[in-house]
Amino acid sequence: MRRRDFTKLALAGAAGTVAAPAVARAQTSFNWKMTSFYGPNAAFYSTGPGSAKDLCSRIEAMSNGRLKIQFYGAGELIPAAEGFDAVSSGTVEMNYANSYFWTGKSFAAQYFTAVPFGLNFQGFNGWYYDGGGAQLWREVYDRFNLVPILAGNTGVQMTGWFRKEIKTVDDLKGVKMRIPGLAGRVYKELGVDARLIAPGEIFPNLERGVIDAAEFVGPFLDRQLGLHKVAKYYYTTGWHEMATASEVIVNKAKWASLPADLKAIVENACAACNVISEAWCQKNNAEAMEDLVKNHGTIAAPLPDDVVKALRVATTKILDEAVARDPVTKKVHESYMAYKAKYDVWADMSETVYHNKIRKA
């Protein structure tokens, strides 16, 4: 009996020594840094539901503290526009931004934020999650040692604020406008002097007349900048950004170092913030638009049809040229547009009918 007892104890002890390293590995913790294109207190992007800070908190809570991410707004650790290179080189583990800021690296990056006359929020999510978009995004960023993940969306944006009324295409000629991304190139085709200006500098530039028009996001964030105080005409809807996605990029080697459960936590936290951030915008934009029109004298209206048609022609020209130059852009473009063609048919039978007929019945 004593021999049997001793044997049981010996086996139990051996099992304990074998299991211990596995337990230790499972409890390994990670301390990462996340930089951002946006300032540390930027509403929607840095603070609030679905923001970058919210994402960091969710990941820490879901991982029970095994993955802690310290957030740094633009300028706190690195300049705003250096996040892509910083993560690519491994200087920091993560960065929060929008992919169209990196079109200088790859024109195809534009498609993963927004394409003029492109997919709306529902359509973009369908392409990203189930239409091959996520895989293509990773393929485009792979040569930069990056893993991209969809992490937020503003939903539809607005065309922007103008100091003078726009009645025809000719009214755009010579207009100095703050507008980022591909939309700026499209406007240039119509004679607009498109400029990229940091969010904090939009209001003073518009107030002083350095620019004549400005696009930022939507009613809530635009009102927060005070743009309604210096421009009266607010054109809708944003032909250039029907749904503006935010990205988190992760250094490829650092991503590989995470165990499978932490990767799943990061991806699911990003998916949650994607939905939550867009919901936040819907609620706050509805209230802000009502306030702007009723209480601040804002004139909200869609652009004239001939202006929209001219913008579409210019967009098609620029995209066709980009596709002809770059096989990577061609691959992404064809996937995006093939999905959009099918989605548009469905949307016309569902969402469009609801908005144009059922809702007004």
pLDDT, one tens digit per residue, over 90-142 is 999 999 999 999 999 999 999 999 999 999 999 999 999 999 999 999 999 99
Q: Which residue has the tokens 């601040």?
A: 296
pLDDT at 27 over 50: no
The HSE-up count of residue 33 (CA atoms within 13 Å, CB side) is: 14
pLDDT bin (cut points 50, 70, 90) of residue 177 is very high
- Burial annotation 39-72 (CB, 10 A radius, 16+ → b, else e): beebbbbbbbebbbbbbbebbbebbeebbebebb
pLDDT at 311 over 70: yes
pLDDT at 220 over 70: yes
pLDDT at 264 over 60: yes
Crossing angle of the two packed helices 305-325 and 181-189, in degrees rounded to 10: 110
- Mean pLDDT is lowest, of 273-282, 309-318, 344-353, for 344-353
Q: Give 70's strand partners.
A: 33
CB 298 within 8 A of CB 231: no
Q: What count of other Cβ atoms lies within 10 Å of the Cβ of residue 173?
A: 11
Report pTM.
0.89
CB 250 within 8 A of CB 149: yes
Q: What's the CATH number for 30-155+243-283? A: 3.40.190.170
Q: What is the CA radius of gyration of the chain?
A: 24
pLDDT for residue 28? 84
pLDDT for residue 352? 86
Q: Which amino acid is at 227?
A: L
pLDDT bin (cut points 50, 70, 90) of residue 16 is very low
Average pLDDT, the chain: 92
pLDDT for residue 224? 96
What percent of the chain has pLDDT above 70? 93
Reduced to 3 states (helix: H, G, I; strand: E, B; else coil), residue 74 is coil
Query: What distance in Å separates the CA atoms of residue 200 and residue 229, rounded to the nearest whole number?
Result: 15
Could you tell me how many residues make up the chain?
A: 361
pLDDT bin (cut points 50, 70, 90) of residue 18 is very low
pLDDT bin (cut points 50, 70, 90) of residue 321 is very high
pLDDT for residue 24? 40
pLDDT for residue 10? 41
